[in-house]
Copies of this chain bind each other. A is one copy, B any other.
Amino acid sequence: RFFYFLSKWTRLIFFVFPGHAEPIVRIFAYFYCTDSPIDHFGFLEDGTFKQRYLVADKHWQHPGGPVLFYTGNEGDITWFCNNTGFMWEIAEELGAMLVFAEHRYYGESLPFGPDSYSDSKHLNYLTSEQALADFAVLIQNLKSTVPGAQHSPVIAIGGSYGGMLSAWFRMKYPNIVVGALAASAPIWQFPGMVPCGDFYKIVTQDFAKSGYNCDASIRKSWNAIKNVSSTASGLQWLSEEFSLCTPLKNKIDALGFKNWLQETWVNLAMVDYPYEANFLQPLPRWPIQEVCKYLAFDSAVSDRQLLHGVSQAAKVYYNYTGSSSCLNTSQTATGSLGFLGWYYQACTEMVMPMCTDGVQDMFEPEEWNFQAFSDGCNALFGVRPRAEWAGTVYGGKDIASHSNIIFSNGGLDPWSAGGVTYNITDSLVSIMIPDGAHHLDLRYSNDRDTPSVRAARALEVKYFREWIHQAKTTPGTASTL
């Protein structure tokens, strides 16, 4: 329960489930490591660490062919490498080298090895600025050591937090990358930039349009849980109904149970893909429609009837394959490195306000409470978040002077609430995928892909070609110098 205070908001991770990756069978990437300074912004700590990156150069046309550079996010890079099929599919037509760079403190790129998470002293170098500097130094190293890469234009690609890094990488290091695709990147999910309730509104809309009374049933379920869990026998019934691995014992457990359910609905909104997929969990196509089949209740439904439906719905997410003997409510709150790292980042730079009102969304009302959040961070890590810093250092809404960034967003994806969903300038463009969930465009293509995501991918490649051409023909850029 140590993470309870955080779980409500920041457990809204993007994706840190390395256990669920599809096996790397279709791709052929080489693993490398580069030595990167542990501290790019100070000189007292002069150690280096082994940063892992993967390279696939089968289709690379060298010298000078482009490099598609995945800016790794909060997890093992092999998982992102395997899940970013878009890059694998366009490598040949662009004659591109693929590089997937692991983010420091995740996967095997641990600055202090097993001690990296031991205390706040060792965690001190886990920041987005350090990660961007790692990427910059890595690319400079590749350009100076890989024959034929010296004048290769580099395009940054990333999804979710990795997409934020791609956008910021282009903003801060336009000398290193000629452009960036920031897929489903909520660069505006920071204090004062977007309403804190928009995220959960989108989750709610996804359910509202996927089945009769689907959002209304979920909205009612919280009170039903409260009623049922008020007695010991009710708690026992709930535990059995949901096949929980660890039965609920008291009100605290019931609170955790509600959070777990809330996260389940959020995760479903993120992975509401048009085909069977195994991204966070093995799931059917359009999984929210499947879920909503169990939630089509009229207002007269009893608490236990309603919750029976909810349990069936939850099992669509947690037991689609039928192989789970019980459901584990701490499943999305393990102490794994990926989680702990993201918690730390949320507790320092990545302050992303969220709130619910129970009216425009289907969740229990809860205001954004920065002070409580800060106190929790201080108790957990001994650090306090800096609410304004991300806006100051990455520009907030005032980014019009930058160039060559695509912001793609899925209309079903709650993270689009904090995304750039309109063109800012001719070269800071938005691509909307109305029926897309969380960075659908970065995934392998599929026969069931909707026209909107097919169009998005084609447009993205078109911009890539323009940036490459621009880099090759404009004096004073890394590719022509």
Interface residues of A (CB under 8 A from B): 37, 40-44, 46, 120-121, 123-125, 127, 129-130, 133, 136-137, 140, 172-176, 348, 382-384, 386, 388-389, 392-393, 395-404, 424-425, 474-478, 481
Q: In the assembled complex, how far is the CB of residue A39 from the closest CB belonging to chain B, in whole angstroms?
A: 8
List B contacts of A176 (CB < 8 A).
392
A41-B129 CB under 8 A given contacts A46-B384, A398-B478 = yes
Residue pair A402, B172 in contact (C-beta under 8 Å): no
Residue of B at shortest CB range from A133?
A: B393
Residue pair B46, A124 in contact (C-beta under 8 Å): no
Residue pair A398, B127 in contact (C-beta under 8 Å): no
List B contacts of A393 (CB < 8 A).
40, 133, 136, 173
* A-B contacts besides A174-B398, A174-B399, 17 pairs, CB < 8 Å: A40-B393, A41-B42, A42-B42, A43-B383, A44-B382, A46-B383, A46-B384, A136-B393, A137-B392, A140-B392, A172-B172, A174-B395, A175-B395, A398-B477, A399-B476, A401-B403, A424-B476
The complex is assembled from copies of this chain, and their number is 2
A477-B348 CB under 8 A given contacts A43-B383, A392-B137, A393-B136 = no
What 4 A-B pairs have minimum CB-CB distances, sorted nearest first? Answer: A175-B395, A400-B476, A175-B398, A43-B383
Residue pair B174, A388 in contact (C-beta under 8 Å): no
List B contacts of A125 (CB < 8 A).
42
Residue of B at shortest CB range from A119?
A: B44
List B contacts of A481 (CB < 8 A).
397-398
List B contacts of A173 (CB < 8 A).
392-393, 395
A397-B476 CB under 8 A given contacts A140-B388, A174-B402 = yes
Q: In the assembled complex, how far is the CB of residue A417 from the closest CB belonging to chain B, in whole angstroms?
A: 19
* Cα of A172 to Cα of B170 in the assembled complex, Å: 11
* Cα of A140 to Cα of B348 in the assembled complex, Å: 19
Residue of B at shortest CB range from A424?
A: B476
List B contacts of A402 (CB < 8 A).
174
List B contacts of A383 (CB < 8 A).
43-44, 46
Q: Tell which of B44, B397, B401, B404 touches A124, judged by Cβ atoms closer than 8 Å.
A: B44
Residue pair B120, A44 in contact (C-beta under 8 Å): yes
Q: In the assembled complex, how far is the CB of residue A29 from the closest CB belonging to chain B, in whole angstroms?
A: 25
* Cα of A393 to Cα of B478 in the assembled complex, Å: 14
* Cα of A396 to Cα of B399 in the assembled complex, Å: 22
Residue pair A41, B41 in contact (C-beta under 8 Å): yes
List B contacts of A392 (CB < 8 A).
133, 136-137, 140, 173, 175-176
Residue of B at shortest CB range from A480?
A: B398
* Cα of A443 to Cα of B176 in the assembled complex, Å: 36
Residue pair A127, B41 in contact (C-beta under 8 Å): yes
* Cα of A388 to Cα of B398 in the assembled complex, Å: 30
**Most chain B CB within a 10 A radius of its CB, from A44, A136, A348, A386:** A44
Residue pair A42, B400 in contact (C-beta under 8 Å): no
Residue of B at shortest CB range from A121?
A: B44
List B contacts of A425 (CB < 8 A).
476
List B contacts of A175 (CB < 8 A).
392, 395-396, 398-399, 401
List B contacts of A129 (CB < 8 A).
41
List B contacts of A46 (CB < 8 A).
383-384
Q: In the assembled complex, how far is the CB of residue A470 from the closest CB belonging to chain B, in whole angstroms?
A: 10
List B contacts of A120 (CB < 8 A).
43-44
Residue pair A474, B400 in contact (C-beta under 8 Å): yes
List B contacts of A474 (CB < 8 A).
400
Interface pairs (6), CB distance under 8 Å: A43-B348, A44-B121, A46-B383, A136-B393, A398-B478, A401-B404
List B contacts of A401 (CB < 8 A).
174-175, 403-404, 477
List B contacts of A44 (CB < 8 A).
120-121, 123-124, 382-383
* Cα of A173 to Cα of B130 in the assembled complex, Å: 17
List B contacts of A41 (CB < 8 A).
41-42, 127, 129-130
List B contacts of A404 (CB < 8 A).
401
Q: In the assembled complex, how far is the CB of residue A130 from the closest CB belonging to chain B, in whole angstroms?
A: 7
Q: In the assembled complex, how far is the CB of residue A251 from the closest CB belonging to chain B, in whole angstroms?
A: 34
* Cα of A353 to Cα of B46 in the assembled complex, Å: 22
List B contacts of A424 (CB < 8 A).
476
* Cα of A481 to Cα of B188 in the assembled complex, Å: 15
